[in-house]
Every structure is written in C-alpha cells, then in structure tokens.
Amino acid sequence: DTGVSQDPRHKITKRGQNVTFRCDPISEHNRLYWYRQTLGQGPEFLTYFQNEAQLEKSRLLSDRFSAERPKGSFSTLEIQRTEQGDSAMYLCASRSLDDARGNEQFFGPGTRLTVL
Amino acid sequence: GNSVTQMEGPVTLSEEAFLTINCTYTATGYPSLFWYVQYPGEGLQLLLKATKADDKGSNKGFEATYRKETTSFHLEKGSVQVSDSAVYFCARSANAGGTSYGKLTFGQGTILTVHP
C-alpha cells in the first residue's frame, strides 16, 4: 500500500486554459474526496465519491469544475476556463467504508495549481 | 452549518515548552473530531482522533479530549521538540448518522515553530 497519490504535483497554466488532475486512492478504499486549500486556510470540501457515484458536491464546485471516478478506482478533477482565483492546492483523500476506523481519511500530497 | 475555529497563530515555542492549540466546533450533532498535521513539504497526516464525548485521542506525545460541554478539542503536548514544527489543523466530520458521507470541515490551521 503506497498511500494516496496525485498527479501532477505542480501545474502552472494560463488563465482560460483547461487543466485536469488525477488522484489514485489507497486500493480498496471506496470513498474518495476532493478538497481545495488556499494559502493560510484549511482544506475546504469540494466533492465526494462512493465507488463510481458522485454523491455530494459543494457549492464551491462551480460548473467549470467536473470530477469523475469512472471505474470506482482513480478519480480526475477537471477545471475548465481557469481563473486566477482557482490557484490553490487541490487535495485528494480516500477512506475505507469500515466505520470502525472512525472516519479517518488518508490524504495525498496534493496538486498545486498556479493560474497566471 | 458545521464549523471549526482554531486559535490564531503562528505559535513560537522553545524546545521542551508546553503546547496548547485551542479548537472549538459547532455543536450540531455528534461529530468525530480530528487533529491533522502538515510537516513542511508533506501532505496532511492524521495525528489523533476522538469519536465520542470524553474520548481522549493521543499520539506522539500529543493529546486532545473531546469535550461536549465546551464544544472543544484542544491539542496539548507537555514538551515540544524542534521536529514538531508544522501546521496543525483541527477538523470535524459530519454528524454521525447523517448523509454527509464523512466529509471533513477544517479549521484554518495553526503554524507551530519550535526553536532549539
């Protein structure tokens, strides 16, 4: 078990471009979360998947954002027509359905997005 | 809604000093409570957790007690080390039995710097 991985670790793009990030959760973790963290703040919830189903989306997730988890394993987060306000660290976390573990989420290293 | 408030930082201490980082949460429902730590250049790691009132979470010399009467989950360590320098985040899960699928709400983080 190598933990949650995210790719790329850093992304610099120009305003108006589309970007896509990938998250590979811990194998057999059927719950996957995306969060966004801006400088000096704690992570904020964006969206959640249980297996391949997207079950909740935050109001922070505008219609320029879309997330998928087509086979219930890895997930992608796409941002269309990026804006400078999208610059942030995008974090992925996964969790086992076993509630005896007390809701612990395991976080990846994040993808740092800079929009110029 | 659910929220978490942490004491503002940064906190600067000398090695072997006593540490307290205050955290309070909104009192809706029966959440699980967490402290996550982010070391420089690394991802978020779970430090400790508590899933019900009066539980004490502990790890690496850190402790926090789930206080329902004061809606608090303060982090303490009796003798800090230089290696404890990091950003500490308090977090709560959604209410037990609710439909928010375990998403976490984080405080804004407290930067801790420990000098030799």
Tell me whether residues A48 and B101 touch, CB distance under 8 A: yes
Residues 6+ apart with CB under 8 A from A85: A115
Which of A103, A104, A111, A112 best tests the B interface by mutation, with the highest count of B CBs <10 A? A103
Q: Taking CB atoms and an 8 Å cutoff, what residues of chain B touch A41?
A: 108-109
Instruction: Tell me whether residues A43 and B44 touch, CB distance under 8 A.
Output: yes
Name every residue whose Cβ is closer than 8 Å to that of residue A56 and which is 6 or more positions away in sequence.
Answer: A47, A48, B100, B101, B103
Give which of B33, B92, B103 to mutate to test A binding, by max A Cβ within 10 Å. B103
pLDDT cut 90: percent of chain A above it: 72
pLDDT band at A100 (very low <50, low <70, confident <90, very high): low
- Residue from the list A31, A35, A108 with its beta carbon closest to the beta carbon of B101: A31
Coil, strand or helix at B83: helix
Distances (CA, A) of B103 to A31, A43, A86, B60: 10, 11, 21, 25
B49 touches chain A (CB under 8 A): yes
Contacts of A106 in chain B (CB under 8 A): 46
pLDDT at A28 over 80: yes
In order of A3, B78, B97, B104, the CA distances from B30 in angstroms are 29, 28, 9, 13
pLDDT digits (tens, 9 = 90+) for B5-46: 998 789 999 999 999 999 999 867 778 899 999 998 888 999
Model confidence over B35-89: pLDDT tens digits?
999 998 888 999 999 988 999 999 999 999 999 999 999 999 999 999 999 999 9
Q: Of B85, B82, B53, which is closest to residue B70 (Cα–Cα)?
A: B53
Q: Which residues contact A98 (CB under 8 A, 6 or more apart)?
A: none
Q: How far is CA B48 from the centre of its chain?
A: 8
Distance CA B57, CA B61 (A): 10
Cα B82–chain centre separation:
19
Can you tell me the distance from the alpha carbon of B53 to that of B96, in angstroms, rounded to the nearest whole number?
12
**What pLDDT shows up at residue A47?**
95
| Per-residue model confidence as pLDDT tens digits over A29-45 | 889 999 999 988 999 99
Beta-sheet pairing, A10-13 with A111-115 = parallel
A96 band by pLDDT with thresholds 50, 70 and 90? confident
pLDDT above 90 (res B97): no
Contact A93, A75 (CB under 8 A): no
Residue type, B85: S
Nearest residue in B to A90, CA atom: B43
Distance from the Cα of residue A66 to its chain's centroid: 10
